């Protein structure tokens, strides 16, 4: 498939059989999401500096360990899209060469699926999102993300076409936690362009209470209730700042 004028290809092939200006060997193990992002983005930057037209990422001979092939392929897809859209390189092709048919199918699914969604389903952005601060059991509800960016986050997601922000945040809370989000109040809007490492998002944040028993669903790997002063160590996006702003509001109201 193509992103603008750059064709993205996944192949199960020997590297020496592919005509390329630059071959980038992908490390066999990634344990840190940010390293995958930097590696992919910086490798494309180096290729652009050298005016390469065809760039090959070689994942031979072994599939990535640590984060795993599924997560690595999704992160690399995110960074390829980010680079092509922000740096406007003159690449004709970016090729991912893998070692097994299973890896080829996985990379195709994650690469093509993600890129098609972002380039066809959604516009160029900024993208409108919602996040929920849910007061529950003496703390707030957070979900552990199964997709990159990894870490814990406030429940939330994208606003669908024809949907209000209020309806979207209730829907996302229900999909990710099975909770019914009620008595919601709009808190703040967060729009810093770098708040999401994938692309520019603008988030409308709401707070309120919920009914039900929190259970992880949708793309949530886990769900938990955290005291405002005892948050998880890894928090995605700018959600730590959002929670801190909310904690200050609570302290002000209690005076």
* DSSP state letters, 61-83: SS--EET-HHHHHHHHHHHHHHH
> Is 84 found in the same domain as 28?
yes
pLDDT reading at 237 higher than 80 = yes
Please tell me whether residues 147 and 36 are part of one structural domain.
no
Share of the chain above pLDDT 90, in %: 77
pLDDT at 254 over 80: no
- What is the pTM for the complete model shown? 0.79
| Residue that is written with structure tokens 């490390």 in the block | 27
Are 95 and 137 within one domain? no
- Domain total in the chain: 2
Is it the case that residue 21 has pLDDT exceeding 70? yes
75-126 confidence digits (pLDDT tens): 999 999 999 989 999 999 999 999 899 999 999 999 999 998 888 877 678 9
Q: Check whether residue 28 and residue 139 sit in a common domain.
A: no
- Provide the pLDDT confidence category of residue 245 given band limits of 50, 70 and 90: very high
The reply to whether 114 and 6 lie within a common domain is yes
Q: Are residues 164 and 243 in the same domain?
A: yes
Burial label, 97 (beta-carbon count in 10 A; 0-12, 13-18, 19+): buried
Residues 90, 114 within the same domain: yes
Same domain, yes or no: 110 and 167: no
From residue 162, how far is each of 165, 166, 167 by CA, in Å? 10, 12, 10
Residues 131 and 247 in one domain: yes
As a whole number of angstroms, the distance between CA 130 and CA 184 comes to 12
Which pLDDT does position 65 carry in this prediction?
Answer: 80
pLDDT digits (tens, 9 = 90+) for 157-209: 999 989 999 999 999 999 999 999 999 999 999 999 999 999 999 999 999 99
Residues 148 and 234 in one domain: yes
| Alpha-carbon distances of 24 from 27, 73, 84, 111, 155, rounded to whole Å | 9, 15, 17, 17, 37
Please give the structure tokens belonging to residue 215: 């259970």
Q: Residue 176: what pLDDT? A: 95
The CATH number that applies at residue 156 is 3.90.79.10
Higher pLDDT, 219 or 158: 158
What pLDDT, on a 0 to 100 scale, did the predictor assign at position 61? Answer: 73
Q: Considering Cα of 86, then 76, then 146, then 247, what sign does the dihedral take?
A: negative
Domain that holds residue 63: 2-121
Q: Are the beta carbons of 72 and 37 closer than 8 angstroms? A: no
Mean pLDDT on 243-248: 96
Same domain as 94, residue 28: yes
58-70 confidence digits (pLDDT tens)? 997 777 788 988 9
Q: What is the CATH number of the domain that holds 32?
A: 3.40.220.10
Is 230 found in the same domain as 141?
yes
pLDDT at position 255 is 66
Residue at token pair 């909770």: 179
Percent of the chain with pLDDT over 70: 99
When computed from its CA atoms, the radius of gyration of the chain, rounded to whole angstroms, is: 20
Share the mean pLDDT of the chain.
93
Question: How confident is the model at residue 117, as a pLDDT?
Answer: 87
């Amino acid at each position: 498939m193509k992103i603008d004028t750059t064709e993205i290809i996944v192949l199960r092939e020997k590297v020496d059989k592919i005509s390329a200006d630059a071959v980038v060997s992908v490390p066999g193990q990634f344990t840190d999401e940010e390293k995958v992002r930097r590696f992919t983005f910086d490798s494309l930057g180096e290729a652009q500096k050298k005016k390469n037209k065809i760039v090959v990422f070689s994942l031979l001979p072994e599939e990535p360990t640590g984060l795993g092939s599924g997560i690595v392929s999704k992160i690399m897809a995110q960074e390829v899209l980010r680079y092509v859209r922000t740096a406007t390189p003159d690449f004709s092709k970016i090729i991912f060469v893998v070692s097994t048919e299973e890896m080829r199918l996985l990379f195709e699914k994650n690469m093509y699926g993600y890129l098609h969604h972002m380039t066809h389903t959604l516009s160029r952005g900024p993208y409108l999102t919602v996040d929920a601060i849910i007061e529950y059991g003496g703390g707030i509800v957070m979900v552990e993300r199964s997709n990159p960016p990894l870490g814990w986050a406030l429940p939330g997601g994208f606003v669908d076409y024809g949907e209000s922000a209020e309806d979207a945040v209730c829907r996302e809370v229900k999909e990710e936690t099975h909770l019914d989000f009620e008595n919601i109040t709009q808190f703040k809007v967060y729009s810093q362009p770098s708040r999401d490492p994938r692309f520019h998002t603008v988030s409308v944040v709401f707070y309120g209470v919920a009914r039900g028993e929190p259970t992880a669903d949708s793309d949530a790997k886990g769900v938990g209730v955290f005291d405002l002063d005892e948050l998880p160590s890894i928090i995605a996006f700018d959600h730590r700042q959002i929670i801190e702003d909310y904690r200050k509001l609570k302290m002000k109201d209690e005076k």
